[in-house]
Amino acid sequence: EDQVTQSPEALRLQEGESSSLNCSYTVSGLRGLFWYRQDPGKGPEFLFTLYSAGEEKEKERLKATLTKKESFLHITAPKPEDSATYLCAVQSGGGADGLTFGKGTHLIIQP
Amino acid sequence: GAGVSQSPSNKVTEKGKDVELRCDPISGHTALYWYRQSLGQGLEFLIYFQGNSAPDKSGLPSDRFSAERTGGSVSTLTIQRTQQEDSAVYLCASSVAGTSGQIQYFGPGTRLLVL
């Protein structure tokens, strides 16, 4: 059974204070690892897809990396508008086509 | 262009009643997914449609849940004899194709409250 564990559950940072969010996963054949951002009352918004260990992707203040067991979402010099819940999900070769999600990291950036 | 749309945005119903939730995927997307997000829980996969193929129902929690997709586009998720534990946000997503690693784009969700 595919499993995704995100840590920490919640993180409070000062504006400009860089940090990383962790996503540990167990899958039977990784087809893709996805990062989404979810604002209160809205659906998840796609950020990144990573397919193989060693891959990295960047977008503005965010950078996602992938190893064989985990992914990190690095946030550099965050701003208050980066406050949201960040979700990690995997799609495996185990049969089911839906994504398996972690419970998310609730990030608060204080001005 | 237009994203995934869902209706209604909110639904309040009484225990035992049936409800229907609707999803309009992004135009041209052949794959459609339903998920459930309960308070304090992660998103839970429910069902997947790819074109005209038989749906993958592996995530449906009970036989009270069913879904259909008409004409390869709009989908309806039906919950019969609703229970209080069915209260959650129901999210729909679509992707260009159901192949490996395709990005799923989500709608805003339907917030269901069963009293």
3-state secondary structure B6-40: EECCEEEECCCCCEEEEEECCCCCCEEEEEEECCC
What is the token pair recorded at B113? Answer: 């409250």
Q: Where is average pLDDT lowest: A43-57, A59-73, B97-111?
A: B97-111
**Which residue among A46, A98, A103 places its CB closest to the CB of B48?**
A98
Q: Can you give the pLDDT at residue A95?
A: 59
- Count of CB contacts below 8 A, A vs B? 72
Contact list in B for residue A99 (CB cut-off 8 A) is 33, 35, 43, 45, 104
CB–CB contact B91 A101 (8 Å): no
Q: From residue B2, how far is each of A54, B5, B24, B95 by CA, in Å?
A: 34, 8, 10, 13
Question: What is the average per-residue pLDDT within B31-40?
Answer: 92
Identify the band that residue A93 occupies on the pLDDT scale cut at 50, 70 and 90.
confident
On the question of pLDDT at A106 being above 70, the answer is yes
On the question of pLDDT at A97 being above 80, the answer is no
Q: Which residues pair with A106 in a beta bridge?
A: A10, A85
At B5, which helix (H) or strand (E)? strand B5-7
Chain B: closest CA distance from residue A103 (Å)? 4
Give whichever of B52-56, B59-63, B90-94 has the largest mean pLDDT: B90-94
Buried b (16+ CB within 10 A) or exposed e, A37-52: bbeeeebbeebbbbee
Q: Can you give the pLDDT at residue B52?
A: 78
Cα A47 to the center of its chain, rounded Å: 8
Question: What is the average per-residue pLDDT within B95-111?
Answer: 87
Q: Where is average pLDDT lowest: A23-37, B32-46, B95-109?
A: B95-109
Nearest residue in A to B4, CA atom: A43
Interface test with A, best of B24, B96, B100, B102 (most A CBs within 10 A): B100
On the question of pLDDT at A60 being above 70, the answer is yes
DSSP-based three-state secondary structure for A95: coil
Q: From residue B16, how far is each of A18, A93, B64, B73, B105 by CA, in Å?
A: 49, 37, 11, 29, 32
Identify the band that residue A28 occupies on the pLDDT scale cut at 50, 70 and 90.
confident
What is the token pair recorded at B40? Answer: 């304090």
Mean pLDDT of chain B, nearest integer: 92
Q: Can you give the pLDDT at residue B57?
A: 86
